[in-house]
Structures are given as structure tokens and as C-alpha cells.
Amino acid sequence: MKKILFYFTVCISFASSFAHADESLFGYVQGAETLPKGAIEVIQHLTKRWDKGQGEYTAYDTKTEFEYGFTDRFTGAVYLLAQSINTAGLQIDGYLPADIDSGMKYSGIEVSAKYNFLSPVKDDFGLAVYVSGLSTHLDPHSGQNKDKYTVETWLLAQKNFLDDQLVWVVNVGLESTYAVRHPVDGMTLTQEQWPTTPEMEIATLIGTGVSYRIAPNWFVGAEALYDTEYETEVGQERWSIQAGPNVHYGAKDWWLTATWLPQLNGGGFENYTGQTDTNLHLIEKTKQEFRLKFGLNF
């Protein structure tokens, strides 16, 4: 945990040389607004995922985001990714081949583009499209070596009410992934335990959130995500619903958002041996998830 806090502090310290832009009211879903032309925003994401209902499982994901407003309607961003996974006493065929305590490691890079068609302030209704490309070399579930290439396309809608005191957003996305696992050093595993053949996956994602300003600079709200994935061999492989509260504070040149997003329901092609929570999907997901986002803008 000390390593995570140190990494987070270093990223914030580095980002503090920047300043000013658009702030995020939500931890997972997105609004339709883009940065003003010439604006720069630096955001540090820290996500904790834990509890698969058996053994020990805790993962931390970090994302350091550099965002720039090319025009008032078009924003581009680059993200540096890292992760840490600690799992013991829990093996899942195809996903968790062995115990691991990886420590924080660089895991990949992501780029994105966001174009705003309608502004929620100027046009009374906000609409934007968001596209991202992701390349990673570590498996987010097991921490083992795995090459993964993902493209996401999102349609983002936003409606403001009560003179912008209440914000409602709806996101609909499509995710396409190509992935190849590497052999695990020092272990002889069957294709069932750790398949190394290429995989293709397509996921549909739907998210929504509301946020209400309760005092100057302070917003509270809630958000929810539905995620379903289809894989080459088995059809619909999994689905899950996550929902929980969030809180946001925005100062002049910085902001902070915290979201707790536990899994409420889920299922899929199969559960792992010994799983007791059969109403949840715990092979790729966890019971609990928490995200903290810190932004500096100018």
C-alpha cells in the first residue's frame, strides 16, 4: 500500500506544474463536454478492485492522463497505465493460473479522442462521441504477461437541469479486443488452465449517472454500469451490473472525485470451482471496486 501511495503522490506532484479545464463529476461514466481550445488537463486515476469471494484478491490500477483541447469541440488524450495484483489461494482456469504479488508495474498506453456535437449548456442537450485505443502487456486479472489490443467507441449524452445544479449522463459503448496470453515462466499449464491461442472479444457497455450540487464546489450522486462480453468460443461469456455513490469537489484549478462501485448482480458462461456467490460474476470482476480521480487544469 505504501508503494501505491508513493506512486500516487509522485504523479500528483508531477501534475501540479500544470493547471485549468473541465472537471469530471463521475468516476466511470463521462459527460459530453470537451476542453476549451488550448486547455490542458492532467488527471490521476487510482482504482482498487478486491474480493472474489474466495482466497485473497486485491488489485490496483493507475492511469495518468494528459488531455489537450485542440478546438472547443475536439479533445485528445494520452494515458500511461500501471497495475499491481496480489492474489493467493485462488486459481481459476484460463484467468488465474498461480498466486502472484506483482507490485506496481507499467502495463501499457492508451490514446483517445472526443468530439462534441452539442453542448449541454449552449444547446440545452449535450452529445459527443468518444473513441479510444489501448495496448497493454499485462493481464488485468492475473498480472501475467498478456498482449491485449482494445478499441472502444462511445456515444455520450448529457442533460443539465435546474440551472446546471443537476447533471444526468448516459453512455453507450462498444468494445472490441484482440488478446494473446504468454506462457507462464516456470509452469507447465494446459490450454484449459491458461490458453495461449489468440482470442477475440466484443463487449457492449451501458452507463448512466446523476450528480447534484449540494453546496458551492460540492456534488454528490450515483452511477451505474452494465457490461456484457461475447467471446469467440462461448458466445456471451459474462455480464455484470455495478452501481454506487460518488462525491465530487471542484476548486478553481483542481478537482477530486471518488466513486464506490460494488457489483450488484452478474453471471456468465460459468463460475469458478468453489464460487459461492453465484449471482455475481467473479471470474473477471470483483465484488468491490473503488476509484479516486484527481485533476489539475489550466
Q: For 35-104, where are the E strands, in sequence order?
A: 40-50, 56-69, 74-88, 100-101
- Could you read off the pLDDT of 194-240 as tens digits, one per residue? 999 999 999 999 999 999 999 999 999 999 999 999 987 677 889 99
Residue 184 has pLDDT above 80, yes or no: yes
Among 8-12, 105-109, 236-240, whose mean pLDDT is lowest?
A: 8-12
Across 262-278, average pLDDT? 87
Q: Which three cell numbers stand for residue 208?
A: 448512466
Whole domain around residue 120: which residue ranges? Answer: 2-297
Contact between 203 and 230 under an 8 Å Cβ cutoff? The reply is yes
CATH of the domain at 237: 2.40.160.40
Residue 16 has pLDDT above 50, yes or no: no
Q: pTM for this structure? A: 0.89
Residue 49 has pLDDT above 60, yes or no: yes
Residue 13 has pLDDT above 80, yes or no: no
Q: Which amino acid is at 276?
A: T
Q: Which three cell numbers stand for residue 197?
A: 491461442
- Could you read off the pLDDT of 146-165 as tens digits, one per residue? 999 999 999 999 999 999 99
Contact between 84 and 60 under an 8 Å Cβ cutoff? The reply is yes
Q: What is the pLDDT of residue 198?
A: 92
The domain total for the chain is 1
Residue 142 has pLDDT above 60, yes or no: yes
Q: What is the pLDDT of residue 276?
A: 82
Across 31-42, average pLDDT? 96
Percent of the chain scored above 90 by pLDDT?
A: 80
Q: How confident is the model at residue 22 (pLDDT cuts 50, 70, 90)?
A: low
CA angle (48 as vertex; 47, 52 as ends), nearest 5: 135
Q: What is the pLDDT of residue 9?
A: 45
Distance CA(126)–CA(169), nearest Å, equals 9
